């Protein structure tokens, strides 16, 4: 029981590592929260600094979801894997290292958790995200529609019920964190993804 609790707490602490803030500060000497959308996630980093920084941030955000969830799954089973993964996602959204201020929107971290708990569903979600993003160039739309498909894909690929429940909760969380994007999409003011160098 103590080990389970420690894994979940560790998930939150790992998820709280703001890789977007850390890498941009180390390699550019700047604060990602002061440029672009102000979000610390990979989309904003990629939009401002390109794939040189955007790709590492994306992979690290995926890894910090995958690691705790996989540890929980292997040590104690699906329920602890789900709880550790959710803790990592909460850490990404409200990181302790940034005094619980606004973090990222959990999409990449949720993807990492899904890869640990339901790899077939994760591959299907990845393909769906790229298809929607490629057709629309809206990262927010691709993230929300993919999250909406997540619980169904988990169920269809035979994932256990705790993981299906995780998929449903993730969908709700992603939509809640994307409320401003939803408003802009409805108004037609949501910006499509393009590279916007900081110098510009």
Residue 153: closest CA among 179, 181, 115? 115
Position 54 pLDDT exceeds 50: yes
Gap between the Cα atoms of 114 and 154, Å rounded: 9
Q: Is the dihedral of CA 12, 13, 19, 20 positive or negative?
A: positive
Task: Calculate mean pLDDT across residues 28-39.
Answer: 92
Mean pLDDT of the 101-107 span: 89
pLDDT at 188: 92
Q: If you average pLDDT over residues 30-36, what whole number do you get? A: 93
Query: For residue 131, what pLDDT is reported?
Result: 97
In the predicted model, is pLDDT for residue 127 greater than 70?
Answer: yes
- pLDDT greater than 50 at residue 200: no
Under DSSP, the state recorded for 166 is H
Task: Enumerate residues 6+ apart whose C-beta is below 8 A from 157.
Answer: 118, 120, 121, 124
User: Residue 130: is its pLDDT beyond 80?
Assistant: yes
Whole-number Å distance between alpha carbons of 24 and 47: 13
**Alpha helix segments (H runs only) across the chain:** 2-15, 19-28, 42-49, 51-76, 78-93, 107-117, 119-136, 139-156, 161-177, 179-187
Average pLDDT value over all residues in the chain: 93
Dist CA 26 CA 49 (whole Å): 13
CA distances (Å), 198 to each of 31, 50, 112, 123, in order?
A: 12, 10, 29, 33
Q: What is the pLDDT of residue 195?
A: 65
Q: What is the mean pLDDT of residues 179-193?
A: 92
Q: How far apart are CA 159 and CA 163, in angstroms?
A: 6
pLDDT band at 1 (very low <50, low <70, confident <90, very high): confident
Q: What is the pLDDT of residue 194?
A: 78
Better pLDDT: 199 or 122: 122
Q: Which pLDDT belongs to residue 102?
A: 86
Is the pTM higher than 0.85? The answer reads yes
Rounded Cα–Cα distance for residues 143 and 138 (Å): 9
């Amino acid at each position: 029981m103590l080990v389970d609790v420690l894994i979940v707490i560790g998930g939150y602490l790992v998820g709280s590592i703001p890789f977007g803030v850390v890498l941009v500060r180390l390699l550019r000497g700047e604060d990602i929260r002061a440029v672009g959308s102000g979000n610390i996630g990979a989309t904003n980093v990629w939009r401002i600094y390109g794939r040189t920084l955007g790709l590492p941030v994306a992979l690290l955000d995926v890894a910090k979801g995958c690691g705790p969830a996989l540890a929980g799954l292997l040590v104690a089973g699906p329920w602890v894997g789900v709880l550790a993964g959710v803790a990592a996602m909460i850490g990404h959204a409200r990181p302790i290292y940034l005094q619980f201020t606004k973090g990222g929107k959990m999409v990449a971290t949720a993807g990492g958790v899904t890869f640990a708990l339901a790899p077939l569903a994760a591959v299907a979600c990845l393909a769906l995200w790229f298809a929607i993003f490629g057709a629309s160039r809206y990262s927010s739309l691709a993230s929300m529609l993919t999250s909406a498909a997540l619980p169904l894909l988990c169920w269809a690929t035979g994932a256990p019920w705790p993981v299906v429940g995780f998929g449903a909760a993730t969908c709700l969380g992603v939509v809640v964190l994307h409320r401003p994007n939803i408003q802009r999409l409805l108004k037609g003011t949501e910006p499509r993804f393009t590279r916007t160098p900081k110098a510009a």
